[in-house]
Structure 1
Amino acid sequence: MFASEVLRSVDNMASKRSNTFKVLLASLAVAALGYVLRSPSLYLRRETKSSLGYPKDSLLNFTELTAEYGYLSEEHKVLTDDGYILTMFRIVKARNCHRAKRSPPVLLMHGLLQSSDSWIDSGPDAGLAYLISDACYDLWLGNVRGNYYSRGHVRLDPDKDPAYWKFYIEEIGIYDVPAMIDYVLNYTGFQKLNYIGFSQGTGTFLVMCSEKPGYCDKVKLVISLAPASRQMHTQSKIFRTVTQTFYRMEGLLSMTGLQEVFSKGGFSQEFVAFFCQLSGVTERLCEKVIDAFDHVDSTHLGSITNQTTRVLFGHFPAGTSVHNMARYGQSMNSGRFEKFDYGREQNLVLYGSEEPPQYNLSATTVPVMCIYGKNDGLVDTRDVEWLMAQLPNVLEMVKVEDPQWNHMDVTYSQYTGDTIFPKINEYLLKYTSA
C-alpha cells in the first residue's frame, strides 16, 4: 500500500517525461517496500560511496559533520531506568560564538524517524543546531531509543530480542526524555533547562509531564515546533496509509518477527541514499516524493535544497519500532491524546477501563511557545490548535508567515534562519541568563 500511494501521489505531479518517471518511480517504490523490513545491510565502505559521488556530508556522523564546519561536539552516553543506552551530543564550541555560553542549557529533540543529524543536515547557514549554537547557547541534542545512535541496552540485543522493540511514545516520554533532562542538569549543575521539541519531540515531553510528576518543574520553557499529539486531521495520505497499515497489521508483523522498521543501514535505506544522488533526474524525483509525503498544497515549490536532500537521505530515516508506528496510525482515529488502545479486554487488564486513559495535558504547567505551519501535511493546524487549547500555560502560538511552510521544513529548510529561528531566539533570550 505504501508503494502504491507513492506512485499515485507523485504520478499526479509529473506531467512531462512520464514514461521515464514511471520507471524511476517503480524502482523507488520497490525500495520503499523494503523499508518495512529490517533487511540485511548492503554495506558499502565510506570510500566506495565517496567514489560513487555521495555527498561527503551524508557519510559523516554528528561529531564529524559538525567538525567539518568548525564546530566542536562531544558524545555522551545516557542510561535510562529501564536499561536503554542513549546517545546525546553537545556542541561545546560554535564557529560564530565568541563569548561565554548562555545559561541554562538547551535540549533539542528530534521528531519521528529522525536523529540529532536532522538538525545539521541543511548546513551551517540553516541547520537549527548551528544557528542556536552560534547564538551562544549551551546546546544538547538527544536521540531516542531505536534510532541508530541509541540502539544500546544493558541486556537486550536489538537484532535478536523482540522485547527491545516493545515501545512507543509512552516509554520514550517516561524513560528517555527524563533521563536526558537529568543527565544534562547533573552534568552542567543547573536546576532547569530550556527544551525545544519537534513533532514527536513535543509529544513525548507531554507524556513525561503527564506520567512523571515533578519533571515539568525541571524545565523553564518549552518551544514546541509542529507538535504531534493527536493526529486526527493529518492530511498526508502516504503517512496516514503507512501508519494505519502498521496499526492494523502489528499482530501479524510481530508473528513474523518484524519489530524494527525504517532503519538506517538496511538494504533499502542504502539503496535510496544511492538512488537520490544518482543523477539530476533521480534527485528531483526524491524531492517530489518528499513533497507528496508532507505538503497539503501540492503546488509547493520547496525550500529544501538539492544538496540537503542528498545529505538527509544518508541519515534518514533513523529507525523506530513497529509498535511506535502503529500508535501513530491509531492516533488518527481518535480525537484524544491517549495511551495505546489494545482493545476492550486488554485495556481492562492494563488500565482498568475499556478505553485507554488520556494523557493529562493540564500537567504540562511549564510555559509553552508554539510554532507551526499552514501547509503541514503531517501535523494539521487544527490538531495544533486543539492541543494548545488544552495546555494551561501557552505564551504564544506562531503560524509561520510563509503559507507553504510544512513539516519537514522545520529541520531541512534553507530558510530557517529567517522564518523560525528569530522567534526561537527571542524566547530563549527571555528565559536565559546573559
Structure 2
Amino acid sequence: MNSISTTIILLVSLPASLFVLHTRSEDAKLNFTELGMKYGHSVEEHDVVTEDGYILTLFHIPGDTKGPLLLMHGLFDSADTFIIRGNLSFIITLANKGYDVWAGNTRGNKYGRRHKYLDPDAGPKFWDFSFHEAGYYDLAALIDFILESTGEQSIKTIGHSQGTAIHFVLLSTRPEYNEKIKGFIALAPIAFLNNLIPPVSTVAKKWQVINKFLKASGMDELLRDHSAALDLIQLLCSQGLIGYDVCYVLISSPIFGFDPERIEPDFWEVIMGHFPTSTSRRSLVHFAQVSDKKRFAQYDYGTVRNFREYKQLIPPSYNLEKVTTKISLIAGENDNLSRLKDVDILRTVLPKEPKYHVMEPILWNHVDFTCANDMDVYLYPYIFSSLQDFE
C-alpha cells in the first residue's frame, strides 16, 4: 500500500468528532506571484520553451546584487517551496537583500504542465521523462533564458534535492554549462542513493513491482494537481493537529526525517497547500534504478532500447569528472533521502573538492532546507558565505 492510500485510510477512519474542518490559511491558497506581492515584491512570469517543446514558468524578482541567481526545486515540488515561508523564505530573504532572483520549474509540475504540441491529458507521450530530461533540457533552457535576458555571461544557482540531481546531469552531459554557472549550492544533494534506509529503501526495492501496477493502470502522471484524490489528501492533512500527526509525523517523517522543532502544525497546513505537485511515473522509476544499481546513471530502458539509445547494453553513468564549476554541498544528518554516506561518495568523485557543510542541528531533515522556521539562524549564513565565495 502506498503512502497516499495509507494517509486517506488513517484519516477517514478517525472519529468524525476529532475533525473540525476549516479553510486553509491564506498562504496555503496563494500562488507564487500572489505570495511575492503579499510579501512586498512584484513578480515577473516568463514562459521558457525547452528544445523538446515543454513550456515552463520562470519567476523573476528583479534585483541588482552581483548578477542573477536561479533556484531549482525538488521532486513533487515547485518554485513555491522557496517562497511559502513568507518573510523567512529563500526568495523573500534574497529579494530583500537586492539579489536578482529567479525561481524555475521543471516539466510536469503545476507550473510546467504545458507543451507546444503534446497534451498532458491525452496519453503517455507528455509524461515520458525523468530527472534526466529535467536536467538536460529544462535547466539548460532556464539558464539560457536568464543569460539572454540579463546579458550576463554566467549565473549562480541553488538546488534542493532533485534540483541538485538535475545540475549534475546537465553539467556532466553538457559540460559547456560549467562556464555558464559561476557557482552552485546543492542543498540535500542527490546523486548516489546507495545507503537509503527503510522505508525509502524498501519502496525503492519494490518499485519495479509498483511500477508495473501503475503502468498497467495507465498512471503515467503521479499526483495530478486538483485531482479528487490529491484534493482530499491536502484537505484532510490540513486539519490541525490530527492532520499534522497523521500526515507529517506518521507518513512523511519516515521519508524525510522527523523534525517537529522546525515544521510546526500551522505551517504544515501551508506546505500541504503547495505540496505535492505532479510529476511523471518515470521520474520515480529512474531514482529507484539509481538506488538499486548503485550507479548515478542514465535511464535503464532495457537492453534492446538501451542499445538503440546509448549503443551499449546498460545505461552509461553520468561522468561527474566533467563537473568543474564551483560547488557548495550542504547536507543534514537526519535527512533520510540525501544520506551523508552518499554525499561522501559524491564528494570523492567530483574533480574539484567542493565546499562542504553538515547542518549543526542534529534533527535537520530533508524538508528543513526550504521550510525550517530557523533557516535564518542555521542555513542562511552558509548560503551567503558560499555566494560570496563564488565571487
TM-score bracket for the superposition, by shorter chain length: over 0.9
- The alignment status of 1:431 with 2:373, answered yes or no, reads no
In the TM superposition, 1:229-244 aligns within 5 A as 229-237=191-199, 239-244=200-205
User: Which residue pairs with 2:17 in the alignment?
Assistant: none
Counterpart CA distance in 1 for 2:108 and 2:71 is: 18
Counterpart CA distance in 1 for 2:205 and 2:4 is: 15
Give secondary structure in 2 for the equivalent of 1:394. coil
User: CA distance change for structure 1 residues 306 and 123 in 2, over 3 Å: closer, same or farther?
Assistant: farther
Task: Give the drift of 1:309.
Answer: 0.6
- Return the match for 1:220 from 177, 182, 190: 182
User: CA distance change for structure 1 residues 225 and 325 in 2, over 3 Å: closer, same or farther?
Assistant: same
Task: Give the drift of 1:26.
Answer: 5.0
Task: Give the drift of 1:242.
Answer: 4.3
Per-residue CA deviation, residues 69-99 of structure 1 (Å, 9 max, x unaligned), is 212211111000000000010123xxxxxxx
8 A contact 2:107–2:138 mirrored in 1: yes
Task: Give the drift of 1:302.
Answer: 3.5
Structure 1 counterpart of 2:142, which letter?
M
User: Which residue pairs with 1:114 in the alignment?
Assistant: 77
Per-residue CA deviation, residues 115-170 of structure 1 (Å, 9 max, x unaligned), is 00011122212x11222222221110000000001111000000113111000011
Give secondary structure in 2 for the equivalent of 1:182. helix
Counterpart CA distance in 2 for 1:282 and 1:403 is: 25
Counterpart CA distance in 1 for 2:193 and 2:228 is: 31
Unaligned runs of 5+ in 2: 15-20
User: Which residue pairs with 1:133 in the alignment?
Assistant: 95
User: CA distance change for structure 1 residues 83 and 244 in 2, over 3 Å: closer, same or farther?
Assistant: farther
Task: Give the drift of 1:279.
Answer: 3.6
User: CA distance change for structure 1 residues 106 and 4 in 2, over 3 Å: closer, same or farther?
Assistant: closer
Task: Give the drift of 1:370.
Answer: 0.6
8 A contact 1:202–1:224 mirrored in 2: yes
8 A contact 2:240–2:266 mirrored in 1: no
| CA RMSD, 1 decimal | 2.2
Task: Give the drift of 1:3.
Answer: 4.1
Structure 1 counterpart of 2:236, which letter?
F
Structure 1 counterpart of 2:74, which letter?
G
In the TM superposition, 1:396-411 aligns within 5 A as 396-411=355-370
- Return the match for 1:105 from 68, 93, 106: 68
Task: Give the drift of 1:173.
Answer: 1.1
Give secondary structure in 2 for the equivalent of 1:184. helix
- The alignment status of 1:2 with 2:18, answered yes or no, reads no
- Return the match for 2:138 from 164, 176, 190: 176
- The alignment status of 1:75 with 2:45, answered yes or no, reads yes
In the TM superposition, 1:289-304 aligns within 5 A as 289-295=251-257, 300-304=259-263
User: Which residue pairs with 1:62 in the alignment?
Assistant: 32
In the TM superposition, 1:281-360 aligns within 5 A as 281-288=242-249, 289-295=251-257, 300-360=259-319
User: CA distance change for structure 1 residues 143 and 328 in 2, over 3 Å: closer, same or farther?
Assistant: same
Give secondary structure in 2 for the equivalent of 1:376. coil
Structure 1 counterpart of 2:214, which letter?
L
Counterpart CA distance in 2 for 1:281 and 1:369 is: 38
Task: Give the drift of 1:244.
Answer: 4.6
User: Which residue pairs with 1:371 in the alignment?
Assistant: 330
User: Which residue pairs with 1:35 in the alignment?
Assistant: none
- Return the match for 2:11 from 24, 27, 42: 24
Counterpart CA distance in 1 for 2:325 and 2:4 is: 43
Counterpart CA distance in 1 for 2:240 and 2:53 is: 44
- Return the match for 1:191 from 144, 147, 153: 153
Unaligned runs of 5+ in 1: 8-20, 28-50, 93-99
In the TM superposition, 1:32-51 aligns within 5 A as none
User: CA distance change for structure 1 residues 5 and 320 in 2, over 3 Å: closer, same or farther?
Assistant: closer
- The alignment status of 1:268 with 2:268, answered yes or no, reads no
Counterpart CA distance in 2 for 1:4 and 1:73 is: 33
User: CA distance change for structure 1 residues 64 and 415 in 2, over 3 Å: closer, same or farther?
Assistant: same
User: CA distance change for structure 1 residues 167 and 137 in 2, over 3 Å: closer, same or farther?
Assistant: same
User: Which residue pairs with 2:18 in the alignment?
Assistant: none
- The alignment status of 1:159 with 2:121, answered yes or no, reads yes
Task: Give the drift of 1:236.
Answer: 4.6
% identity of equivalent residues: 33
8 A contact 1:170–1:339 mirrored in 2: yes
User: Which residue pairs with 2:342 in the alignment?
Assistant: 383
8 A contact 2:53–2:115 mirrored in 1: yes
Which stretch shifts more, 136-145 or 245-254?
245-254
User: Which residue pairs with 1:250 in the alignment?
Assistant: 211
8 A contact 2:73–2:104 mirrored in 1: yes
Structure 2 counterpart of 1:181, which letter?
I
User: CA distance change for structure 1 residues 123 and 314 in 2, over 3 Å: closer, same or farther?
Assistant: same
